[in-house]
A = this chain, B = another copy of it.
């Protein structure tokens, strides 16, 4: 199913379309990019171009924010996912020892602990 992955990651949507599909403003979408939550491509004319995967991620971001997770938290989640994916790959070559697992679990808990801090005000989306 490589075909489908490719299609979903094809950057073909301009920001105007993304606004409608996600119900986000251009300002929000560009801000999330500035915060490294998404990395849209650019066309020859420097216009941002988004893929279906980007749409999914933006919808996720929207939901996390609505739940009260701040942007730093969302970023942490994605970084965690990325390293988890990497670990999975590496695991195909050298399976983990129990000792490794213990250390990883500990890291996870530490990360979780740091997350809930709603220090930077939860703000509800206006209607």
Asked if A13 contacts B13 (CB within 8 A), the reply is yes
Once the chains are docked, how many angstroms separate the CA of A17 from the CA of B43?
A: 10
Interface residues of A (CB under 8 A from B): 12-14, 16-17, 20-21, 43, 49
Write the chain B residue with the least CB distance to A7: B52
Chain B residues near A13 (CB, 8 Å)?
12-13, 17
Once the chains are docked, how many angstroms separate the CA of A20 from the CA of B14?
A: 14
Chain B residues near A14 (CB, 8 Å)?
14, 17
A-B residue pairs in contact (CB < 8 Å), sample of 10: A12-B13, A12-B17, A12-B20, A12-B21, A13-B13, A13-B17, A14-B14, A14-B17, A16-B43, A17-B49
Chain B residues near A43 (CB, 8 Å)?
16
Once the chains are docked, how many angstroms separate the CA of A13 from the CA of B13?
A: 6
Chain B residues near A21 (CB, 8 Å)?
12
